[in-house]
Amino acid sequence: MATSMSGPIISGLEVRGPINPGFEEILTPEAMAFLAELEGRFGGERLRLLDVRTKRQALLDQGHKPDFLPETRAIRDADWTIGPLPVDLLDRRVEITGPVDRKMVINALNSGAKVFMADYEDATCPTWTNLVEGQINIRDAVRRTITHEDPASGKKYRLSDKTAVLKVRPRGWHLEERHVLMDGEPMSGALFDFGLHVFHNAHELLARGSGPYVYLPKLESHFEARLWREVFLVAEEYLHLPHGSIKATVLIETILAAFEMDEILYELREHSAGLNCGRWDYIFSFIKKFRKDPAAVMPDRAEVTMATPFLSAYSQLAIRTCHRRGAPAIGGMAAFIPVKDNHEANEVAFSRVRADKEREASNGHDGTWVAHPGLVPVAREVFDAYMPMPNQIARKRTDVTVTAADLLAVPAGPKTEAGLRNNVAVGIGYIEAWLRGQGCVPLFNLMEDAATAEISRTQVWQWLHTGTALDDGQAVTLDLIDRIVAEELSAWETRVGANAYAKGRYADAASLFRDLVAREDFTDFLTLPAYERVVAEGA
């Protein structure tokens, strides 16, 4: 039975979420004191940097275009490298990502991938239960005591003898944790996730020959990376961890961060474990940042592949930058998922994944991401063939030259009603799952998380508000969108059946999707209003 915990615990920190059985082992007074230390020191700077984001967006809305920073040229020109990499992060040829639920954690660690990124961000709906149970699951996984029995099938899950290296992705700087208040205000979701993880697991991980390794999402500047470095330094001092033992891989998944890769690595130096090309969020960021520019309108989402010049330039710039600094450059996500009992569909999906991974490996990436255990052997086979050594950091790619114009080149391609309809269908399907507490969901043979759903709704917003016409001559109007939303809502009832539809949140999802694309003022992240609904419903 859950009990409530309210009122200040220590230093102004107050837990408003229910304390279910086992939660007290995570939300200890000592852990809360550590969270209070982090929020007290860094909460204000986080808010200031979010305000800087707003001001930069205002400049972009006025037509300003980003460029490499003249004030940091000395950093880009100088010869320096990041700190040495731990032995278990030298070979990262295949990484798998997924949410922090118990069964997924076990399956991902057992998948045969070199690294598992346990995701509190895009793949996890941040209900209080999901987050704290996720901390329990990760704690148990680190100590190798994690087991799970499926209540429906009775199947039992436990860790294999050899498992993937664990990395944890906390939420981004923009997200709050509404169930924990500091002096009456919600604390940072990023500091909550990171703080509890390192407090409970850093020493245990180091004792087992690994370390507290994290992924950092959605950074927009080296100043935001600097804030993380300061967090790491305080955490290491507070918890008596060896200096530099916290290692962070930064996802370059915003167009603004692409202009500051050197600077981000420089800020994190002794804490850096390289960069990752978070391609889906990167596309979302490109559309979002230039959303009011009719000249920056993207074609159908399916047409925006890594072969398009602006994405190829970004990927190769990441490789060149990382390798010059002695850092690994990890490739992007393969979102395809195997289809049960459909050999033909799987062969098509596998061939696409294989081609994507061959491009990454031949370009010089040191590893790649997959979303499903079934894709681990496909990706591993490619990287084994192209990269017999642990990594390709020795390939400096000095032949690569990327300009600001290369990064900002808008791809050409069709804009179709089918593309618009797919965006609506994915948006409704993903938001529906999110409102039920599920952060990643298979839709149309792809694993969709918040990043891919963001592309869908942002593209619809951009097409509508820039007066885009489809290739068949139709103008993208609110009437057209309303018609397609209604038709796709009906299609979802057909796809899942009347019973599942009635039990689901499809009408709510369609309403939220429609509101997000219709409103004149763009909402930076769909998870912000969706989180408001989740919290209001007591989740």
Residue closest to 233 by CA, chosen among 204, 192, 271, 193: 271
Q: Quote the CA–CA distance of 287 and 296 in Å, as a whole number.
A: 7
pLDDT at 411 over 70: yes
Residue 75: Cβ-neighbour burial (10 angstroms; 0-12, 13-18, 19+)? middle
Rg (CA), the chain: 22
Q: Quote the CA–CA distance of 227 and 508 in Å, as a whole number.
A: 37
Residue closest to 510 by CA, chosen among 431, 406, 395: 431
Q: Quote the CA–CA distance of 516 and 527 in Å, as a whole number.
A: 11
pLDDT at 517 over 70: yes
H or E element in which residue 168 lies: strand 165-169
Six-digit token string for 10: 């220590």
Active site (catalytic) residues: 169, 449
Tally the residues of the chain: 539
Residue 93 near residue 367, CB atoms below 8 Å: yes
pLDDT at 4 over 80: no
pLDDT in tens, 160-196: 999 999 999 999 999 999 999 999 999 999 999 999 9
Count Cβ atoms below 10 Å from residue 155 Cβ, excluding itself: 10
Residue closest to 231 by CA, chosen among 45, 84, 80: 45
Give 220-240 as a DSSP string: -SHHHHHHHHHHHHHHHHHTT
Q: Quote the CA–CA distance of 62 and 287 in Å, as a whole number.
A: 15
DSSP class of residue 375?
G
pLDDT in tens, 59-111: 999 999 999 999 999 999 999 999 999 999 999 999 999 999 999 999 999 99
Residue closest to 262 by CA, chosen among 512, 409, 72: 72
Q: Are strands 272-277 and 329-334 parallel, antiparallel or unpaired?
A: parallel
Count Cβ atoms below 10 Å from residue 419 Cβ, excluding itself: 23
Q: Dihedral of CA 491/497/499/503: which sign?
A: negative
pTM, two decimal places: 0.96
Residue closest to 262 by CA, chosen among 312, 215, 221: 221
pLDDT band at 1 (very low <50, low <70, confident <90, very high): very low
What's the gap between Cα 448 and its chain centre? 11
Q: Quote the CA–CA distance of 415 and 397 in Å, as a whole number.
A: 35
Of 6 and 319, more confident: 319
pLDDT in tens, 374-401: 999 999 999 999 999 999 999 999 999 9
Helices and strands (DSSP H and E) totals, the chain: 19, 18
pLDDT band at 2 (very low <50, low <70, confident <90, very high): very low
User: Can you list the domains of the chain with their CATH numbers?
Assistant: 29-408 (3.20.20.360), 417-537 (1.20.1220.12)
In the numeric block, the tokens 């993380």 are attached to 228
